[in-house]
Chains A and B, each alone.
Chain A
């Protein structure tokens, strides 16, 4: 059975290694500040006791006042999982750092999130629209998208 790491556990480990990176946490997930996300991501992947080598999914949820970027991570070796979240505010091109350099599996998902949600992933090698064509007006999965 895959155990899910609690937010408390995880935030302890993360804030020890990268101070001032955890914005808040609850029993299920932790919220990371976008500016320290790359460091945290590298830590999550490379720290032996965490070993989150497998990135399940990158999701962006539109909560009108902010976008929540959700990363589901699994460690195949320890068989545990974690949910990492980030909030980014602003509706004009909100941006978070891209993790393609750490998990290649984020490549297409980040492109999709940019295409449909309009969240820019800084540092992505090829951040183009993936589902829609270049020149499509707007980002259709946002809650305020109307045609």
Chain B
């Protein structure tokens, strides 16, 4: 499973580079296995499993830490950027440009008292943050960060991502239910309804990508993108963006923790590091989404002149910034409108997208470049037309300033001035 990974291969071959593992370790000279001058594996025969374990552990350790650190960095970035959006500065005291702010936050959260409500279901209450955070890490298992650098090449990578993200709905419900708080309960109930609804358009929007690439594996999806699927799947991209921001419960869809309504929703009773873990999960979510979207729609790590990892980071960053921009700008939907938007708006749009893509794939199973560009044209036209049509059906149309009519209850004011 990990064999395709370059770092894994290097470590593994260093430890157990003998003839039995010829499949992974390239021969230095005929009959001499090893890696980079070290001719033989450090471990004797029969101990390859230790090498496998150590190499796997090291790479997972690296990736998890990188994600945690980038999450911490992202909290700083989000707060700075939103500060800019809101005509203020944002955290700028601790470290250069306030870069150490996440560490200060972490220390604060570690030192805070960890309270558990008296009526809470302790076990569920304590485990909910972990259930919330682990899926966020698991997503990154199948994301190719750069050219041949990924943890696992699952042949059902996309399916894995979808099933793993669904767990967060469970975590939200666990947290809300176990808190024994009515606000938390409201958040949890809203959360389950919303997250389950938005799974549907999200999955359907990915199906278009799968049809085009002909594979469920994220690695081969990246490799099959001759053109970025953003061009081929504009509607799918948009639906995925909206559905994902609903899945992450960020601002236009942040009913679950609606600050002005149910205060903090499902995590109202959490404090200290448990709250910190919930928040970390919440801040890791945009990064995960950015990574998924970069992989599915923006050619992943592929790019021309920059190193592949840098390309990937740039793409993730641009998606994350887009999400952040939306978050800083828009007010929140109401609960029935949010469900209506999923089922009346995004779901039919996703079906249209799927239908059009399926027909195209049926006509051109192996498209050449010209046919590919033809598909781009058709898909963009379909996207624009269907979005405009749906906006006109569901939306408020244009804002018209109605001429107000006076009530006959008072009519005295026109006599002066």
A residues neighboring B (CB under 8 Å)? 1, 53, 76-79
Contact = CB atoms under 8 A, between A and B. Distances in A.
Interface of B: 408-412, 416
7 contacts: A1-B416, A76-B409, A76-B412, A77-B408, A77-B409, A77-B410, A79-B412
Nearest to A53: B409
A22 B408 CA distance: 31
A116 B410 CA distance: 33
Contacts of A1: 416
A78 B409 CA distance: 10
A76 B411 CA distance: 7
The 5 closest A-B pairs by CB, nearest first: A76-B410, A79-B412, A76-B409, A77-B410, A77-B411
Nearest to B411: A77
B295 to A, nearest CB: 60
A81 B408 CA distance: 18
A53 B407 CA distance: 13
Nearest to B412: A79
Nearest to A79: B412
Given A53-B409, A79-B412, 10 more contacts: A1-B416, A76-B409, A76-B410, A76-B412, A77-B408, A77-B409, A77-B410, A77-B411, A77-B412, A78-B412
Contacts of A79: 412
Nearest to A51: B409
Contacts of B412: 76-79
A76 B416 CA distance: 15
Nearest to A76: B410
A133 B412 CA distance: 42
A132 B196 CA distance: 47
A100 B186 CA distance: 36
A109 B356 CA distance: 65
A13 B409 CA distance: 22
